[in-house]
Structure 1
Amino acid sequence: MKKYLLATALVGLGSAPTIAADLAARPYTKAPALAAVYDWTGFYIGVNAGVGLGRDRLQHDWLNTGSPYSFYTSPQGAFGGAQIGYNWQTASVLGPIVLGVEADIQGGGLSDDRANFSLFGINASYRQKPDWFGTARGRIGIANGPVLSYVTAGYAFGNVKTNATETVAGITTSFATDRTQSGWVVGSGVEAALGGNWTGKIEYLYLNLGNKTDISTLLFATPINTEIRENIFRVGLNYRIGGNTAYAPVVAANWAGFYLGGNFGSGTGRDRSSLSVPAAPVLETFNLAPDGINGGVQAGYNWQAANWVFGLEADIQGSTQKDNKTCILTCTPGLMAAYDATLPWFGTARGRLGYSVGSTLFYATGGLAYGSIKTKINTASFAGLVTQSFEHTKTGWTAGAGIETPFTLLGLLGPNWTTKTEYLYADLGSTSDNFIIGATPVTSTRSVTEHIFRTGINYHFNSPVVAKY
């Protein structure tokens, strides 16, 4: 701005009458144009794709004992859809604030048929499938030039199919619902300009589609209670109509060198589990679904060739993820297995491959995952109450994607700071534990997979992460 005012003043002086006879007239010099400020105001349309994970608690007294089983169906799969929205950008003491509205509709292949129980010659199985959903939300965010960090919330709706079958003495009965349910949604994300009218985003949404109670049409006409909760992880591409569409990053930011930082986020597990009693015979297959908060630190190093960024990163996390709501094996005081499954800590060592669009780094990441898996099983039989405890440290793999951008925190931090938002999928393998209920041998298995969405802050020890526009 100072250079612009000085150039304007010189133009004024050059065009004024000469005030000294011995001074030659100065040639006219056009003032340099002001750099355009990125403006998020305007309509946009776009598409998105991602993965969804349900944590849908189901309670059903399928044996008619007076004590219902409690377990999770965990519909998982890919989905895709489209969105449309409008943004308003305004100034505030915090910087440019962006207010917006957005609606989307998605079709998907989320499903789960893991819950199957076989006890005393009676069999029951359950399947759940959310086949489409949509949202209508408000958005509010803080813009840092061509990067928008936002939170979002509003109305959610979707179609959910639930099926159950029960076989007793060779007679099979069934139950099914197919209905549209509504509720609310909340989430967060980061959107960044790609050049011209295009932007890209990474986003997490939590959908609560309510609770339902149905009287089953199975042999035992006992209530089936369902709670529909969906975790949505997706990336999107938007085309902006109007507003500032002249953005074109000229130089990629400098990402090379060491960095150190911390992160905070949430995680949800989909642990395919089983409990078997060969002597009975009994076989229960179900999901454990520990969820909670994760937090930790990371360190890494980047190499850069033009806009391409190659890196290595390692992190270690503490976690509150827990599932203590699953109860099977009749779940009566006389015979039960009540689970308390946790993931106390985990970590990763990953490669990163990214492309810098101006000062925004879009990257994919993958590598080694490791962590501690704890399983407590409170059992009851004629021998009384006993708690079985098992702990394993396991290794596996992880893959994901994210966006990293400069972070100034209202001007309090310098140009060496960045913030990132990323999604990771981690597979920590399987565990198998043997124990005794009464005098009967029992085997419990657990395959641990995690969906992690987190935000981090990094300090780069090299030159500042800046780019020219």
Structure 2
Amino acid sequence: MNKFMLAAAGIVAMTTSVSAADLAASPYTKAPAPMIGAVYDWSGFYIGANGGGGWSHKCWDIVANILGAPVTPPASEGCHTATGGVAGGQAGFRWQSASWVFGVEGQGDWAHLSGSNGPSLAAGGVGSDRSKINAFGLVTGQVGYAWSNVLFYAKGGAMVVSDKYEGFTTATGFVFDRANETRWGGAVGAGLDFGVTPNIVVGVDYVHGIMGSRDNRFTFNNGTFSRADRIRQDVDIATARVSYRFGGPLIAKY
């Protein structure tokens, strides 16, 4: 009996020793940290298209008559707001630091912002004045704050517009004189972008152009001098946009 109990105790001891050795040989593997979420990365180049509408308020003062003599003080010919649609494209680059996003952007649009006022002093008081913006461009810098894939930004820079002016008889619509100019001014604005995917961004954008006053020389249809008008204007543009961003994927956050 004693021999049997000694043998059994030996077998139990050997089994325990082997089990402990097996356990010691198993490698320790640290469990991976759980992924809490993903951070949208706004850095990279982008290009896209936009469309919307705009309005441009213009006030006219005649500063020289048909003989070229100065009109002192300048005489008001009235104001109007030119309205219409715009469509074009934008391209830029952004870089992100923490939640702050910085960028530069260029935008160019075709436009059809037109309007008129009258009767004015043109053509002896029987005429009206008409304006049209054919196109505009923007070069702006941006500063924004991002909440993952939502970005709010403010922007500022320069704006250029292509203006066309006409004088016409109010009763018949006959155009008797005209002028053209390319005008530069300042621009400020803001926008809201939403990252639908890591590469597709949609948003809305607003910009106000501060274009100041310029003297414009009008000519009759035969090319001779007609008058000179000082035209003050500002421009407001609101667009919806979609862009493709050549950036990286979402960044995992642990």
Q: TM-score, normalised by structure 2?
A: 0.74
Instruction: Spell out the pairing of 1:241-260 with structure 2 (5 A cutoff).
Output: 241-244=246-249
Does residue 73 (structure 1) correspond to residue 75 (structure 2)? The answer is: no
Which has the higher Rg, Structure 1 or Structure 2?
2
AA partner of residue 147 (structure 1): V
Quote how far apart the aligned CAs of 1:39 are.
1.2
Quote how far apart the aligned CAs of 1:26 are.
8.2
Quote how far apart the aligned CAs of 1:178 are.
1.8
* Change in CA separation of 1:182 and 1:34 when aligned onto 2, cut-off 3 Å: same
AA partner of residue 230 (structure 1): V
Aligned mates of 2:120, 2:103 — CA distance in 1 = 51
Does residue 223 (structure 1) correspond to residue 225 (structure 2)? The answer is: no
Does residue 159 (structure 1) correspond to residue 166 (structure 2)? The answer is: no
Check conservation: 1:181, 1:210, Cα contact below 8 A. Answer: no
Which of 84, 87, 92 is matched with 1:85 structurally?
Answer: 92
Which of 120, 129, 138 is matched with 2:141 structurally?
Answer: 138
Quote how far apart the aligned CAs of 1:246 are.
7.6
Q: Which residue of 2 aligns with 1:179?
A: 181
Q: Which residue of 2 aligns with 1:125?
A: 128
Q: Which residue of 1 aligns with 2:105?
A: 102
Instruction: Spell out the pairing of 1:434-453 with structure 2 (5 A cutoff).
Output: none
Aligned mates of 1:137, 1:212 — CA distance in 2 = 23
Q: Which residue of 2 aligns with 1:234?
A: 239
Quote how far apart the aligned CAs of 1:152 are.
0.4
Instruction: Spell out the pairing of 1:281-320 with structure 2 (5 A cutoff).
Output: none
* Change in CA separation of 1:246 and 1:236 when aligned onto 2, cut-off 3 Å: farther
Check conservation: 1:53, 1:230, Cα contact below 8 A. Answer: yes
AA partner of residue 80 (structure 1): A
Does residue 193 (structure 1) correspond to residue 203 (structure 2)? The answer is: no
Which of 38, 41, 65 is matched with 2:40 structurally?
Answer: 38
AA partner of residue 138 (structure 1): G
Check conservation: 2:187, 2:207, Cα contact below 8 A. Answer: yes
* Change in CA separation of 1:245 and 1:44 when aligned onto 2, cut-off 3 Å: farther
AA partner of residue 81 (structure 1): G
AA partner of residue 110 (structure 1): L
AA partner of residue 73 (structure 1): H
AA partner of residue 51 (structure 2): A
AA partner of residue 36 (structure 1): A
Aligned mates of 2:114, 2:84 — CA distance in 1 = 7
Quote how far apart the aligned CAs of 1:67 are.
6.1
Cα displacement string for residues 403-436 of structure 1 (whole angstroms, at most 9, x for unaligned residues): xxxxxxxxxxxxxxxxxxxxxxxxxxxxxxxxxx
* Change in CA separation of 1:245 and 1:49 when aligned onto 2, cut-off 3 Å: farther
Quote how far apart the aligned CAs of 1:70 are.
4.7
* Change in CA separation of 1:190 and 1:132 when aligned onto 2, cut-off 3 Å: same
Q: Which residue of 1 aligns with 2:53?
A: 51
Higher helix share: 2
Percent of aligned pairs sharing the same letter:
28
3-state SS of 2:91 partner: strand
AA partner of residue 52 (structure 2): G
RMSD (CA atoms): 3.4
Gaps of 5+ in 1: 1-17, 248-469
3-state SS of 2:84 partner: strand
Which of 112, 115, 134 is matched with 1:112 structurally?
Answer: 115
Q: Which has the higher contact order (CA 8 A, sep 6+)?
A: 2
* Change in CA separation of 1:161 and 1:237 when aligned onto 2, cut-off 3 Å: same
Aligned mates of 1:31, 1:146 — CA distance in 2 = 24
3-state SS of 1:32 partner: coil
Q: TM-score, normalised by structure 1?
A: 0.42
Aligned mates of 2:79, 2:148 — CA distance in 1 = 43
Aligned residues: 219
3-state SS of 2:113 partner: coil
* Change in CA separation of 1:36 and 1:164 when aligned onto 2, cut-off 3 Å: same
Aligned mates of 2:36, 2:57 — CA distance in 1 = 51
Aligned mates of 1:183, 1:166 — CA distance in 2 = 31
* Change in CA separation of 1:212 and 1:25 when aligned onto 2, cut-off 3 Å: closer
Instruction: Spell out the pairing of 1:370-449 with structure 2 (5 A cutoff).
Output: none
AA partner of residue 235 (structure 2): E
Check conservation: 1:173, 1:217, Cα contact below 8 A. Answer: no
Aligned mates of 1:216, 1:82 — CA distance in 2 = 32
* Change in CA separation of 1:35 and 1:177 when aligned onto 2, cut-off 3 Å: same
Gaps of 5+ in 2: 1-19
Aligned mates of 2:27, 2:225 — CA distance in 1 = 102
